[in-house]
Amino acid sequence: MYVDVGFAKNTLPSSVFDCIHAYMDISPEDSELGWRLSTDRCSDPPARLKTSFDLKNAFQLARAKRYSGRKEKHMKIEISNLKSISKIISAKQGGENSHLSNISAQPITLPSPTVHNYIHLRGEAANQNQLLHAGIKCPHDIYLKMDDESDDELQLPICNVLDIIDALFPAMDFHQYLGALHCQGITYLASAVNFDCDFYVSDVRMSRGAASLFCRQVNKMKMKNDWAVVRQKAKGKKCARISYDDRDEEFLLREADFEYTKHLPSNITST
């Protein structure tokens, strides 16, 4: 079975590996990944894909071959699980136990400057080979494809929210809270903004500083999402462009302060 998966520039190596394991329905402990280009011969042995350096080398070689020659080639990286996995089907779930050999391959498309149906985090120029790195310094642009009948609100998954915050504050490692957030039913940005700092401290087990920073960032994202919906409606287009950049931070903080002041008693003002 083949599944096309697109990864954009500056995607963290850990996120790429997590996505690969999820699509192939295997655990990191039970897998031994290998890769080769779609233009390689079937008899060519796959190269090892275990570390971030292996992943970076795979993308660099694929990009080099993609742009070699006069005409750009359609290039894919085929990732396969080289370790035979035995799956035991319980008799309670129907029938006798059986062992299934599961060696699946997933072609991975190269990062593309044109975004269709996957999230794109804007990186360096296309002619540079530095595709994957842990510290993302540049602003983030997220493009979400919308249907004509979709809800007004853009639903940003919480894992992408954590990607954005971690890129701005890598030392905080907000991805460690992903499991706890899912346990609380917080799977989208829209639900994350409904809770205060105390909730994230007591129920998600964030530190007070991390919780304060998290609440501030998700509320900022929510406001930008709301503005993107307004702009999308005004322009009458299907695709909304949501820019996560600190250039609008001062304006957003003024908006947040205004909203906060509206809810204060008339004899109290915000400082």
Which one of 95, 112, 138 terminates a domain? 138
Residue 151 and residue 59 share a domain: no
113 with 173, same domain: the answer is no
Question: Do 125 and 218 fall within a single domain?
Answer: no
Enter the tokens of residue 101. Answer: 């050999």
73-to-17, 32, 37, 39 alpha-carbon distances in Å = 25, 28, 12, 10
Does residue 242 lie within any of the structural domains? yes
Q: pLDDT, tens digit, for every residue of 108-117?
A: 444 433 222 2
- Of 18-27, 30-39, 135-144, 201-210, the one with minimum mean pLDDT is 135-144
DSSP 8-state secondary structure symbol assigned to residue 90: P
Residues 121 and 202 in one domain: no
CA 89, chain centre distance (Å): 32
Residue 270 lies in a domain: no
**R_g over Cα of the chain:** 22
CA dihedral sign of residues 89, 95, 99, 105: negative
Q: Pairing mode, if any, of strands 140-145 and 239-244?
A: antiparallel
> 195 falls in which pLDDT band (50, 70, 90)?
very high
| 204 alpha-carbon distance from chain centroid | 21
Alpha-carbon distance 249 to 262, whole Å? 20
CA-nearest of 114, 173, 168, 176 to 145 is: 114
If DSSP states are collapsed to H, E and C, what string results for 196-234? CHHHHHHCCCCCHHHHHHHHHHHHHHHHHHHHHHHHHHH
- pLDDT interval class at 41 (50, 70, 90): confident
Q: Which of 138, 159, 182 finishes a domain?
A: 138
- Contact predicate 228/234, CB 8 Å: no
Query: How many other C-beta atoms lie within 10 A of the C-beta of residue 199?
Result: 15
Asked if the model's pLDDT at residue 152 lies above 70, the reply is no
Q: For residue 92, is it within any domain?
A: no
pLDDT tens digits, one per residue of 87-99: 433 334 444 444 4
Residue 90 lies in a domain: no
Q: Are residues 119 and 183 in the same domain?
A: no
Distances (CA, A) of 106 to 36, 42, 49, 193, 249: 11, 15, 13, 36, 40
Bridge partners, 80 (sequence order): 34, 105
pLDDT, tens digit, 9 for 90 and up, residues 49-74: 888 888 888 888 877 877 777 777 77
1 and 132 share one domain: yes
- Specify if 267 maps to a domain: no
Structural domain including 220 reads 146-262
d(CA 117, CA 145): 6
User: Is the pLDDT score of 257 beyond 90?
Assistant: no
Task: Tell whether 271 is covered by a domain.
Answer: no
Please indicate, yes or no, whether residues 114 and 194 belong to a single structural domain of this protein. no
Helices (H), the chain: 13-24, 52-66, 158-168, 178-183, 189-192, 197-202, 208-235, 249-262
Residue 129: inside a domain: yes
SS3 content of the chain, % helix, strand, coil (to 5): 40, 15, 45
User: What is the number of structural domains in the chain?
Assistant: 2
Tell me if 97 is assigned to some domain: no
- Average pLDDT value for the chain: 66
Q: Are residues 252 and 173 in the same domain?
A: yes
Would the pLDDT of 85 be above 50?
Answer: no
Residues 6+ apart with CB under 8 A from 229: 152, 153, 154, 240
